[in-house]
Amino acid sequence: MLTKRIIPCLDIKNGRTVKGVNFVDLRDAGDPVELAEIYAASGADELVFLDISATEERRKTLAELVYHVAEKVNIPFTVGGGISSVEDVDILLQNGADKVSINSSAVKNPQLINDLVAKFGSQCIVVAIDAKKIDGDWIVHLVGGKVPTELNLFDWAKEVEERGAGEILFTSMNNDGTKDGFANEALNKLSTELNIPIIASGGAGSMQHFTDTFVKGKADAALAASVFHFKEIEIIDLKRQLKKEGIPVRL
C-alpha cells in the first residue's frame, strides 16, 4: 500500500509565510526559507509553496525565493501562484521546484494542462482546486477564492484528470483555517471517482483530523499550514500516531 503523505503548505505574500481563515484575515507565520528547512528536517514528505497573491496581482511567482527554498530541502517541492504558461513552469523547475501547481490559469485555459503535461510529464503537474459548498453544490472559485465560477468541483476534477494532470490539490474554502477537520465527504467522492492522487487541504486542527481524512476521506495526502507553523502539531508526533492507527506513513 502506498504511504500517506504529510505536506506542510507555505502560503507566501510579499516574501513572508502567512496564514488566514476562510482565505482572509492573513497573519504572519515566518520566513519561508527557514520554515522549509525545518519541515524537511522534521519528517515532512513534501512541501507546497503557494504565492497566494501572484494571480491577483498579475505577477509571477517569486522564482528567486523558490531557488532559496529549494536549496534548503531534500524532499519534493511543489510551487504555485501566477503560473500561466509553459515558460513560467520552465523557470520554476530550473529554480528547483519538483512540481508546479496551477489553479486559476487552468480554469481560464484548460488546454494549458495538456500543454504542460506534454512538455514536462504528468508527475510534474498538480491542479489546485479551491471550492466552496453553496446550497449543497461545490462551486469552484478562482483568484485566491475571490471569484466564483459556474464549474462544479467534481466535473472539473474529472476534466483535469482526463487532461493528464498528475494530482489534484483540493482545498475546501468552507473548512480552510477553521481547524474543524477536512471536507471528508467531498474528498471521499473525489478519491472514489478519480484515479489520480487527491491531496486534502483546509481544516486541519488535530491529529484525529488527519486520521479521518485518510480513512473517511480516502485522501492520498494531507496538507496543512497553521497547525505546523505555530507548532500545534509536530510532524513526527503526527506520523507516529498515524502509524499506531494502522495508516501507512514514512517515518
**Residues designated as active site:** 11, 130
Strand pairing of 167-172 and 198-201? Answer: parallel
Cβ neighbours of residue 106 closer than 8 Å, sequence gap 6 or more: 112, 113, 127, 160
Radius of gyration (C-alpha) of the chain in whole angstroms:
16
Q: Are 99 and 77 in contact (CB under 8 A)?
A: yes
Q: Are 95 and 60 in contact (CB under 8 A)?
A: no
Q: What single letter denotes the amino acid at residue 237?
A: D
User: Could you say which DSSP state residue 128 is in?
Assistant: E
Beta strand residue intervals within the chain, DSSP E: 5-13, 16-21, 24-30, 47-51, 77-80, 99-102, 125-134, 137-142, 147-152, 167-172, 198-201, 221-224
Q: What share of the chain is helix, strand, coil (3-state, %, to 5)?
A: 35, 30, 35
Cα–Cα distance for residue pair 214/220, rounded to 1 Å: 7
CA atoms within 13 A on the CB side of 74: 3
Cα–Cα distance for residue pair 247/229, rounded to 1 Å: 24
